[in-house]
Amino acid sequence: MTNGSVRKWRKVLYEDSQGFEDNFTPTGSFLAAIEKNKGVRVYTRAECLAGAGRVGNEVCCVLVFWSVHQLLLRKLLPPSSLLAAMALALLVLGLHRHLTLGSSLLRGLSTTLLFSIIGFALSPVLSKLTDSISTDTIHSMAAAGLILHLFTRNYGILAPLVSSSTSLNAAVFSAVCLASRFDHHLAAFALLSLAVLLFLPLPQAPPLLSPLLSSCIHWLAAFSCICLTSASVMPPLVLLLTLQVICPLMFHRLQSAKSTIHGPWDEAVLR
């Protein structure tokens, strides 16, 4: 109060003429500035299930890759059969893109042929690359690389941990480690080709494919994962149900518990 009149406080910095302390803030003004859940995105149930489906699909690809490696290592799967199956899958994807998007089928075949020639020529060197390293160390390095691949994969949500280059390099590093333990260079080439097919074109394929074919690829990956790892300690069906059904439904339900507050105490940002 000055000369019988009440001076009203204004939110102005570095103005001494107001007569208030620098850290003074009226209680009503301070509490009125509180904002709850500012900028919080609430996801629908369909969005939660779709996002979990992308994570489950990538987990299926990793489990299929590891299981095929074990089959090749035990000589239960001929490398020629695996290469023939991958060639057929690439041909189907190439024809689909050619018919729907008008992309050049000949260009895709030439790129695949070039990669095959280079990979086949280098596979004899690869199969003897880690002879001086123990098998347990190789398997530990490969498992760590695949886990890093899963954690850094881009599932559609930007985060500091997401890095497409790191994810791809980790998957290729794991494939090189596992392929180096084979006795025959054709098995090493087949495993590297499988890694390139699973971790490079297939994750990028769903946005370019029809919803029907994209769903078929997803269910085929899940079915292959269940069949190849059915004898494991933890059944993959339980893992997939947890990742793709239970976790997204719990996340959708717990969104109502979000409670964030913003107010005058927040750091100033440039707008």
Q: Walk along the chain (271 residues) and give the pLDDT tens digit of each residue.
A: 455 566 676 666 665 656 666 666 666 666 666 777 777 788 889 888 888 888 888 888 898 899 899 899 888 889 999 999 888 888 877 777 777 766 666 676 777 788 888 888 888 887 777 778 888 899 999 999 999 999 999 887 778 888 888 998 999 899 989 988 888 888 989 998 898 888 876 655 554 455 555 667 667 777 777 777 765 545 777 888 888 889 999 999 988 888 777 776 666 565 5
Kindly report the pTM of this predicted structure. 0.76
pLDDT for position 241: 86
pLDDT for position 7: 65
The radius of gyration of the chain from alpha carbons, rounded to an integer in Å, stands at 28
Measured distance CA(137)–CA(177) in Å, rounded: 10
Q: Which two tokens stand for residue 246?
A: 């239970």
pLDDT for position 268: 58
Measured distance CA(4)–CA(89) in Å, rounded: 88
pLDDT for position 233: 46
Q: Which two tokens stand for residue 130?
A: 């880690």
Q: What percent of the chain has pLDDT over 70?
A: 73
pLDDT for position 269: 60
